Amino acid sequence: MSRVTLHTLQSAPEAARPFLENAQKASGFIPNLLAVLANAPAALETYVTVSALNGKAELSLAEREVVQLIAATTHGCDFCVAGHTAVAVNKAKLPDDVVSALREQATVPEEKLEALAAFAREVIATRGNVSAATYAAFQAAGYSEGNALEVILGVSLATLCNFANVFAGTPLNPELARYRWPSGQ
């Protein structure tokens, strides 16, 4: 049960409706995250805007999803883990063993993606005070200074979503049920 109103196209504040309409057109349903954020149209607009900017990053979709899954599992956001698992599997085409490792908060079996995951984990754990060793491993894996800042951008996006969902107790949409986290709940 959500702690806040899950808005529909009809009940949402006027300023939130265009964002919900676009989501409905894009995915065929309104993700409950957006239904929650519609309570604060500025928060919804921020999410949509920062998502679009994050999509322009040099990091690939698969790499951006690694960051999102690291943040969601770290922050304990069941909704975001499910949503980003769906994207990681269906759009980013991340291998099953990589997705499983990310969901289980385990070592990622691909060296480059593990360097990214380790960097993202440390960004969150230290609030950006990443150790020289972790940053060097990130760079040795082929990532740039700009990519480091893109990870921070991804974490900032995730923080808005993760914290809003955890606060609201956002229920999982039926469309995402097969990606439930933790599995078996």
Per-residue pLDDT of the chain (185 residues; tens, 9 = 90+): 889 999 999 999 999 999 999 999 999 999 999 999 999 999 999 999 999 999 999 999 999 999 999 999 999 999 999 999 999 999 999 999 999 999 999 999 999 999 999 999 999 999 999 999 999 999 999 999 999 999 999 999 999 999 999 999 999 999 999 999 986 55
**Dihedral Cα 183, 60, 35, 11, nearest 10 deg:** -150
pLDDT > 90 in the chain, percent: 96
Nearest to 79 by CA among 158, 170, 182, 167: 170
Nearest to 57 by CA among 68, 44, 72: 68
What would the pLDDT profile of 7-31 be if each residue is shown by its tens digit? 999 999 999 999 999 999 999 999 9
What would the pLDDT profile of 34-44 be if each residue is shown by its tens digit? 999 999 999 99
What is the token pair recorded at 85?
A: 């698992």
- Do residues 181 and 82 lie in contact, with contact meaning Cβ atoms separated by under 8 Å? yes
What is the token pair recorded at 177?
A: 């049920």
What are the φ and ψ backbone dihedral angles of 157, each rounded to 5 degrees?
Answer: -60, -50
At 80 the pLDDT is 98
Please state, in angstroms and rounded to a whole number, the distance separating the CA atoms of residues 86 and 100: 12
Instruction: Give the start-to-end residue ranges of the domains of the chain.
Output: 14-54, 61-179
Amino acid at 38: A
Preceding peptide of 182 cis, ω within 30°? yes
Residue keyed to tokens 């380790």: 118
Architecture of domain 61-179: Up-down Bundle (1.20)
Which DSSP symbol is given to 185?
-
